[in-house]
Structures are given as C-alpha cells and as structure tokens.
Amino acid sequence: MQQHRIVVLGAGYTGAIAAGRLARRLHRDDVRITLVNAEADFVERVRMHQLATGQDLARRPLRDMFAGTGVEVRIARVTAVDAERKEVTLAGERGESEEGLPYDTLVYALGSGWDDHGVPGVAAHAHQIASRSGALVLRERLAELAPGQPVVVVGAGLTGVEAATEIAEARPDLDVALAARGALGDWLSAKGRAHLRKVADRLGITVHEHAAVTAVDADRVSTAGGTSLPAAVTVWTTGFAVHPIAKATTLEVSDTGQIVVDRTMRAVSHPDVYAVGDAALAEGPGGKPLRMSCASGVPSAWQAADAIAARLAGGEVPTVPIRYFNQCVSLGRKEGLIQFVTADDTAKDAALTGRAAALYKEIVCKGAAWGVAHPAVGLLGARRRVAPQPARAAV
C-alpha cells in the first residue's frame, strides 16, 4: 500500500501540534507526514511583546523538535495551493524554486499576520509584533529611543495591552500611551477593568479612550476626534489578517479569507483539506465564530488531527466542542490578569489579578511551548493503521 501523504502548512502552535499528534496517532509505515514552515525555528508568538522589549527567548529548531517522530520538516515558503490538483508550491529555504509538493490530506495552518485595516501611513510608519521579524525590528527601534520620547500603542485588545504594559515596565523612561477605539478593557468584567486601569496608572501609561486612529505619520498618529498624538514609535495592534493564499484557491473562504470548516475542522468544499487556528472559520459555542487565539487554535489542531486519524483508520470520528475558559493577559513581568469567561468567551465576574495571575499566565505559556517542543509525548495507545485508500488519480 502506498503511504498516505499528509502535508501540514505552517509550524506555529497549531500546525506543529497537529503534525506531532498525527505522528503519534498513525502508524509510521502507513503515512508520510511533511511539516512545511518558512522559518527554521518555532516562534512563541505569544511572547513577541517580550522579544520587542529586549528579552531573549530560547531557540527551538523545528528539525530538532521533530527528530525521531517520523515528521519530515521542510523549511520553505508556501507560494500557492492547488486544491484541485492536490499540490502545494514552495519556494526553497534559500529562495530557489522547488517542484510542487503533492498531498493526499492537507492541514492548512498558515495562520495570520498584522492587519493595517487600510489606515493611511500604517504600513510605512508603524511597527508590528505579530511576527518574530517585526518584534526584532521594534526591539532595535525602542533601543534607539532617548528618555522621554513618546511611544503610542494603537489597539487596546489583548495584544495592545500586553505590548503597552511590557514597554512601560521595561522602559519607564519613555512616555507610553495606549490608544483604544472604545473604553479600556470594555470586554472585561468590572474587576478586570479596574485592575487593568490600576496597572496602567502605576506604569505611567496614558490611555486615550474612544480614540480611533485614522492616520499614522512618522512622528504622530491622528484620531477620528481630531486629536494628534506625538509618537516617535507607533506600535500597531488592532487585529490580525489571515495569510492570503487560501483566498487565491478554489477552497470556500469567508470574507476574511478564512477557510470555512465543519466541526471536525474539515473544509466544507474540499474533504481532503483541514484548516486549523487563525486560518479556519469555525463555529464555536452560541454560533459565534472562534476568535483568533491559542485558546481556540490548539483545540482545533487536536480536533483536526484526531479526525484525520479516525477517518484514515476507518474509525468513529470524535467531535469535541471547542469552548473557552479564560483569557490570560500579561501586564509586564510582575502583573497579570486572568479573566474567567463563559463557553462563548463572555466575561464572568470572576478574575484573578496580580502576581498570581502573572504566574498563571507564565505557566500557560510554558505549557503551550512544551507541548509543541515535545510533539509525540502524552498520547497513549498504539498507533493506528491506515485502512486501504482509493488509488490515486493520475495527474
């Protein structure tokens, strides 16, 4: 029997976890699993605000992580996906062109990057921390700033709050401001909002509420209310946009470019394609789309891997509802906020704050990284054999 070819695109949290779980679920003789990623190292995206402020993160080479698992790691950039021919086109590690990589099952986990929302000047003048390269560029720029220079963080969601507090704590000599479209922490409980404001005040962060930014210049940002905020550095954290490749395929995608999937993370238009993490438009509790986050991305990778393994082995396909439990927010290295939420991500009254919350968040981050770095650990039971598959059509 020919080996079933599984190709996983992207080795962030979701792609790496899916590849490792598939390697542990399926018999090595029956499958060939290839994990494709543009960077040679696994990137802890949830720590990019730390990297930007001068903290060093441990290197985690993907080839070392997956050594001995049966997963082949390819360092290459995905340039196209042909969902009809079932082939992925790659540009090599050194930029050279490569032949297409065929697949029988595709796991699309290319994730997302920053989204400038078309606001004038953002692409030219703002910095982002949605990627390692962006965080390193911001790191260099912050190191150049003299005391008293202004830094404006645009966007007061989880990423913006973490970035502003991390910068303010690491560089108390800078004038850090946070521009929020709405009220600060308006998605949090009353306790969570109060703690967030307390920490921002203690760190000397100036908060501009109801200040939608309409333009970014080299030395300032402008808001819809006509206010001009001086900014030697602008950090843009207003949300994420998915990788554009899916939208250029015949896969059914949403207006956001996310691949539309069912409860098993299988593409509704192509049964041999699965999408996980930020790349997938999946329905969560209450019929609400799952938000782009590790909190839903990691369970989506588990779901996809288990569904693929079950279908290939001819077994019953598990469907475990993906739900939320909490939102973990670091507020510098000494403070944190754990907002407990309902299954559909609505804030409850309960929240954990202070050093205990900071420790809680650190444990979560370390646990997520450990799970990725040990892809074949923790799953019990024998690897399943793949049932006979239909012969491949000639291309």
How far is CA 119 from each of CA 186, 208, 255, 360, rounded to the nearest angstrom?
23, 18, 19, 36
Phi, psi of 132 (to 5 degrees): -65, -45
Paired strand residues for 7: 34, 106
Please report the pLDDT score of residue 358 as a whole number: 96
User: Which of 115, 119, 138 has the alpha carbon at shortest distance from 222?
Assistant: 119
Please report the pLDDT score of residue 96 as a whole number: 63
Paired strand residues for 72: 34
Cα 269 to Cα 264: distance, rounded to the nearest angstrom: 13
Cα 197 to Cα 204: distance, rounded to the nearest angstrom: 10
Per-residue pLDDT of the chain (395 residues; tens, 9 = 90+): 689 999 999 999 999 999 999 999 999 999 999 999 999 999 999 999 999 999 999 899 999 999 999 999 999 999 999 999 999 999 976 666 677 999 999 999 999 999 999 999 999 999 999 999 999 999 999 999 999 999 999 999 999 999 999 999 999 999 999 999 999 999 999 999 999 999 999 999 999 999 999 999 999 999 999 999 999 999 999 988 999 999 999 999 999 999 999 999 999 999 999 999 999 999 988 888 988 888 889 999 999 999 999 999 999 998 888 999 999 999 999 999 999 999 999 999 999 999 999 999 999 999 888 888 876 666 556 688 888 877 776 55
Could you tell me whether strands 150-154 and 175-179 are parallel, antiparallel, or unpaired per DSSP bridges? parallel
Question: Do 12 and 111 touch, CB atoms closer than 8 A?
Answer: yes
Q: Enter the tokens of residue 236.
A: 């843009």
Cα 149 to Cα 168: distance, rounded to the nearest angstrom: 12
User: Which of 205, 160, 151, 163 has the alpha carbon at shortest distance from 180?
Assistant: 160
Q: Is 54 left (phi over 0), alpha (psi -120 to 50) or beta?
A: left
Cα 25 to Cα 380: distance, rounded to the nearest angstrom: 9
**Which strands sit side by side in the sheet containing 326-330, from one edge to the other?**
326-330, 336-341, 347-353
User: Which of 334, 351, 356 has the alpha carbon at shortest distance from 165?
Assistant: 334
CA-derived radius of gyration, the chain: 22
Sorted by sequence, the CB contacts under 8 Å of residue 46 that are 6+ apart come out as 294, 365, 368
User: Which of 271, 270, 295, 266 has the alpha carbon at shortest distance from 281?
Assistant: 266
Q: Enter the tokens of residue 80.
A: 């196209």
Could you tell me whether strands 112-114 and 240-242 are parallel, antiparallel, or unpaired per DSSP bridges? antiparallel
Residue 190: count other Cβ atoms within 10 Å of its Cβ: 11
Cα 391 to Cα 395: distance, rounded to the nearest angstrom: 12
Counting beta carbons within 10 angstroms of the beta carbon of residue 60, is it exposed (0 to 12), middle (13 to 18) or buried (19 or more)?
Answer: middle
Paired strand residues for 351: 339
Phi, psi of 87 (to 5 degrees): -150, 145
Question: Do 243 and 111 touch, CB atoms closer than 8 A?
Answer: yes
Could you tell me whether strands 336-341 and 347-353 are parallel, antiparallel, or unpaired per DSSP bridges? antiparallel
**Which residue carries 């949403």 as its tokens?**
254
pTM of the entire predicted model: 0.93
Please report the pLDDT score of residue 286 as a whole number: 85
Cα 228 to Cα 116: distance, rounded to the nearest angstrom: 19
**Which strands sit side by side in the sheet containing 4-9, from one edge to the other?**
71-75, 31-37, 4-9, 105-108, 273-275
